[in-house]
């Protein structure tokens, strides 16, 4: 209310008061015109009027201050804030909202969104849509929250987390609508970048060809990729919650635990370490492992392990070393074997001649001849290893081959107190092989069994489903230590006092020449099982092979 309005009200009220009061007091109440009652009442009314004006002014000033505070607060906010009445007309809006919709120079108060749309071509459709969205909020009658994307003139977009609050009076009629929108563009972009980063990490983690797992500070597994199943046979559920040392071989646990503790202490990745892990099926695997700390806020909260299965690589390296050793043996055998056999033949001849001419006991001559035969046998094995020999494969009966072997070894097995048993299926298929080489193979295996104090040696022959013939030789001898099994077939490796180690080397080469496999299983004090698998058929180009 302006000052001029107050003066006009005051003068008008005073004029009316004097005329009305004079008529009332003098003509109607018949009071003395000189009475002070009228002036007293006028003073009281005037005081009340002035007091009312002062209170009104104070409230008005206070209201303006509060309005200024609210306006300052709204304009200071980086959020969009808008108040509308029950009909959708704008009551107030902060500077951010006006600039956002290009309404900074528009008298917006009292206008609806559709009316303001004509002041901005770019945001006209957006403002018209606001009326539709507002109407949905009014119909629902509850607070509505949604994300809205607004296109900017520069081609970019802004995303707002918008909240609309409908206010109703006591009768349930629409009173006001509060619209607030927070700019969450940067947060959405950060979330998208985080999502992309997580997807990259997830892809790397889940599809890595190596085993990746995570542990807590106590070494308990918290997560793993699917490679755990492909490598070790264990499922992810079987691994999670278990200490990682549980799956590592006993001889490597101390070294693995030391590497783990060093990662926790130094907060640095450890160098590659080699450990052995037992597969679920019992097979021992070789893994190259690297441990990396998981650091959050400069604190180590766990360890990530990267493991690569190098079992086949190590086996390949061992085969290469064995092949190199065989190559050296072959070269040595080629240069030595022939040099030995020539004087050996002469020595044997003279011993036989002396034996015939000497009338004394033959015991010493027999010992010399036996030892010369033994030397000749060793030379023969060297010659087999010395260079490739042309070998012709023919169709043979495996039963006949094995019966010949048993006939040759029957006397020796009887001498050692061993019993030979032959078990085979009816109607066994013919085998494409070199019969003499297979005889040499089985003779070597059975001789080893008899020399291992076996009382019973069982030979089982049957056809496997995958077009292979399986020959299994089972004995109850003293057995072979686990660490020795891996070295079987290496030249010059033998546990026998007079053994050369060449017998099994030749045996392995014969199996390899027939494109088969040989497998040893043994337990100390219980015996040994040797399983030889040979393919039933070969292509024409394999009928003639090189035997080394």
What is the tens place of the pLDDT at every residue in 472-518? 999 998 888 877 777 676 665 555 545 555 677 778 888 888 889 99
Taking CA 139 as the corner, what is the angle to CA 137 and CA 144, rounded to the nearest 5 degrees? 25
Q: Which residues of 519-537 are buried (b: 16+ CB within 10 A; e: fewer)?
A: ebebeeeebbbbebbbbbe
**Which residues are CB-contacts of 415 (< 8 A; sequence separation ≥ 6)?**
none
Q: Tens of pLDDT along 422-480?
A: 888 888 888 888 888 888 889 888 888 888 888 899 999 998 877 889 999 999 988 88
The C-alpha atoms of residue 317 and residue 312 are separated, in whole angstroms, by 8
Give the residue from 517, 419, 409 showing the smallest Cα distance to 472.
517
Classify residue 464 by its DSSP letter: -
pLDDT at position 171: 87
Give the residue from 452, 445, 538 showing the smallest Cα distance to 495.
452
pLDDT at position 539: 39
- Calculated CA dihedral for residues 291, 296, 301, 303, nearest 10 degrees: -10
Is the model's pLDDT at 540 over the cut of 50? no
The C-alpha atoms of residue 15 and residue 346 are separated, in whole angstroms, by 166
Q: Confidence class of residue 548 from pLDDT cuts 50, 70 and 90?
A: very low
Beta strands 431-433 and 394-396 are antiparallel
The C-alpha atoms of residue 423 and residue 421 are separated, in whole angstroms, by 7
Dig out the tokens for 397 from the structure. Answer: 């009966």
Q: How many angstroms separate the first and last alpha carbons of the chain?
A: 120
Give the residue from 249, 247, 245 showing the smallest Cα distance to 258.
245
Contact between 161 and 185 (Cβ < 8 Å): no
- Residues in the chain, total: 548
Q: Which residues of 231-267 are buried (b: 16+ CB within 10 A; e: fewer)?
A: bbebeeebbeeeebbebbeeebeeebeebbeebeeee
Give the residue from 357, 338, 361, 337 showing the smallest Cα distance to 349.
357
pLDDT at position 473: 93
Contact between 223 and 214 (Cβ < 8 Å): yes
pTM: 0.46
The C-alpha atoms of residue 375 and residue 368 are separated, in whole angstroms, by 11
Give the residue from 376, 386, 375, 382 showing the smallest Cα distance to 492.
382
| Mean pLDDT within 272-288 | 85
Q: Tens of pLDDT along 45-87?
A: 666 666 666 666 666 666 566 666 666 666 666 688 899 999 9
Q: Confidence class of residue 6 from pLDDT cuts 50, 70 and 90?
A: low
What is the separation of C-alpha 191 from the centre of its chain, rounded to a whole number of angstroms?
Answer: 23
528, β-bridge pairs? 475, 522
DSSP SS3 for 1: coil
Is the model's pLDDT at 356 over the cut of 70? yes
Taking CA 440 as the corner, what is the angle to CA 436 and CA 446, rounded to the nearest 5 degrees? 140
The C-alpha atoms of residue 148 and residue 173 are separated, in whole angstroms, by 28
The C-alpha atoms of residue 533 and residue 236 are separated, in whole angstroms, by 35
Q: Where are the beta strands (DSSP E) in 169-298?
A: 174-183, 211-215, 221-224, 273-278, 284-296
458, β-bridge pairs? 421, 474
Is the model's pLDDT at 536 over the cut of 90? no
**Which residues are CB-contacts of 322 (< 8 A; sequence separation ≥ 6)?**
489, 490
The C-alpha atoms of residue 532 and residue 362 are separated, in whole angstroms, by 42
| Mean pLDDT within 6-10 | 64
Q: Tens of pLDDT along 75-131?
A: 666 688 899 999 999 988 888 888 888 898 889 999 999 999 989 888 888 899 888
pLDDT at position 461: 92
523, β-bridge pairs? 527
The C-alpha atoms of residue 65 and residue 87 are separated, in whole angstroms, by 27
pLDDT at position 23: 61
**Which residues are CB-contacts of 368 (< 8 A; sequence separation ≥ 6)?**
351
Contact between 443 and 457 (Cβ < 8 Å): no
């Amino acid at each position: 209310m302006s000052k001029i309005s107050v003066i006009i009200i005051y003068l008008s009220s005073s004029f009316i008061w004097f005329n009305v009061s004079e008529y009332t007091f003098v003509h109607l109440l018949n009071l003395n015109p000189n009475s002070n009652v009228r002036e007293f009442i006028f003073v009281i009314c005037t005081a009340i009027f002035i007091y009312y004006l002062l209170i009104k002014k104070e409230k008005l000033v206070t209201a303006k201050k509060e309005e200024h505070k609210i306006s300052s607060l709204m304009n200071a906010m980086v959020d969009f804030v808008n108040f509308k009445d029950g009909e959708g007309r704008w009551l107030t809006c902060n500077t951010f909202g006006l600039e956002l919709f290009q309404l900074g120079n528009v008298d917006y108060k009292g206008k609806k969104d559709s009316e303001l749309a004509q002041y901005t071509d770019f945001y006209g459709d957006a403002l018209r849509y606001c009326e539709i969205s507002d109407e949905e909020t009014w119909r629902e009658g509850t607070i509505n929250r949604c994300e809205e994307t607004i296109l900017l003139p520069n081609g970019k977009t802004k995303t707002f987390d918008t909240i609309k609050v409908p206010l109703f009076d006591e009768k349930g009629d629409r009173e006001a609508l509060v619209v607030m929108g927070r700019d969450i563009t940067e947060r959405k972009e950060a979330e998208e970048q985080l999502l992309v980063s997580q997807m990259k990490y997830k892809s790397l983690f889940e599809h890595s060809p190596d085993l990746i797992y995570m542990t807590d500070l106590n070494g308990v597994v918290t997560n793993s990729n699917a490679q755990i199943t492909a490598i070790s046979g264990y499922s992810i559920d079987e691994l999670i919650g278990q200490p990682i040392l549980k799956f590592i071989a006993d001889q490597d646990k101390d070294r693995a635990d030391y590497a783990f503790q060093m990662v926790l202490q130094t907060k640095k990745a450890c160098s590659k370490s080699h450990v052995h892990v037992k597969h679920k099926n019992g097979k021992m695997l070789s893994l190259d492992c690297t441990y990396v700390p998981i650091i959050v806020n400069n604190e180590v909260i766990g360890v990530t392990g990267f493991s690569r299965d190098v079992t086949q690589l190590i086996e390949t390296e061992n085969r290469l070393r064995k092949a190199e050793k065989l190559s050296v043996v072959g070269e040595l055998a080629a240069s030595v074997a022939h040099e030995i056999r020539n004087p050996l033949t002469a020595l044997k001849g003279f011993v036989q001649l002396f034996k015939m001419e000497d009338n004394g006991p033959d015991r010493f001559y027999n010992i010399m001849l036996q030892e010369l035969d033994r030397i000749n046998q060793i030379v023969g094995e060297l010659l087999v290893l010395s260079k490739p020999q042309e070998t012709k494969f023919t169709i043979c009966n495996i039963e006949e081959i094995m019966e010949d072997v048993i006939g040759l070894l029957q006397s020796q097995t009887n001498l050692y107190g061993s019993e030979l048993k032959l078990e085979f299926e009816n109607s066994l298929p013919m085998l494409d092989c070199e019969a003499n080489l297979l005889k040499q193979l089985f003779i070597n295996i059975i001789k080893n069994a008899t020399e291992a104090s076996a009382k019973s040696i069982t030979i089982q022959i049957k056809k496997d489903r995958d077009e292979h013939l399986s020959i299994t030789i089972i004995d109850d001898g003293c057995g072979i230590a686990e660490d020795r099994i891996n070295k079987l077939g290496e030249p010059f490796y033998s546990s026998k006092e007079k053994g050369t180690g060449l017998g099994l080397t030749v045996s392995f080469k014969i199996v390899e020449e027939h494109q088969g496999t040989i497998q040893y299983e043994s337990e100390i004090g219980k015996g040994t099982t040797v399983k030889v698998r040979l393919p039933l058929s070969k292509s024409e180009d394999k009928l003639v092979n090189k035997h080394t």
